[in-house]
Amino acid sequence: MSKKPLILGIESSCDETAASVISENEQGNPLVLSNVVSSQIEIHKEFGGVVPELAARSHIEKIDWIVQKAIIDSGKKIEDIDAVASTAGPGLIVCLSVGLSFGKALAATLNKPFIAVNHLEGHALSPRLNSSLDYPYLLLLISGGHSQFLSVQGLGKYKRLGTTIDDALGEAFDKTAKLLGIDFPGGPQIEILAKKR
């Protein structure tokens, strides 16, 4: 029996610092061993949206602890990691640079491969983390400044079927919430209010 790959993933594209250790099960499907997320809602609340500089500072303060916790929670040792992956874009550049720099430095220290991950591709493939979804499938991708319909045809094979030409859905929700005086993040609160109608 060959050793199952063990990947440490790092995310810092916007206002959450996250790390996860992923392997695969006997059938070759992804197996999430740990997933640690630190939200920055309280930091950005008073501004009504994400402040890139504050988000980057928070990533710097928390990334070491988040990665350590993800490794501990996985029940593995750092020496067991086969590769380090980190979000490489799109996203807020000052935030992305924190995760990228940390991931590259850790991979170099461990003498392991580094994998740069496209943020939107990560979203496009994430349904396969906890389901036996086969290609092709239709995906509605809503993330930050992106709202689009995709045909996910395989790893690295995507066809964009439609997208917004101005604001993405999340931005529209946040702007509407701000106009209505709803605290950040406003999108979830608008959804709750809409269900009451």
pLDDT at position 168 is 78
pTM for the full model?
Answer: 0.86
* Pair of tokens at residue 20: 């996860």
- Per-residue confidence (pLDDT) for residue 86, from 0 to 100: 98
**pLDDT the model gives residue 184:** 81
Mean pLDDT in consecutive groups of 10 residues from the start of the chain, 197 residues: 86 95 87 95 85 96 98 97 95 95 98 95 88 90 83 93 83 82 84 83
Cα 189 to its chain centre, rounded Å, is 22
pLDDT on residue 1? 47
Name the strand (E) or helix (H) holding 122: helix 119-125
Helix H or strand E segment including 96: helix 93-110
pLDDT at 167: 78
What does the pLDDT read at residue 19? 98
Question: In angstroms, what CA-CA distances link 1 with 4, 22, 26, 75, 172?
Answer: 9, 18, 10, 20, 50
Output phi, psi for 109, to 5 deg: -65, -40
Please calculate the CA angle 141-87-155 and round it to the nearest 5 degrees: 60
Question: Domains in the chain, please, with CATH?
Answer: 7-132 (3.30.420.40)
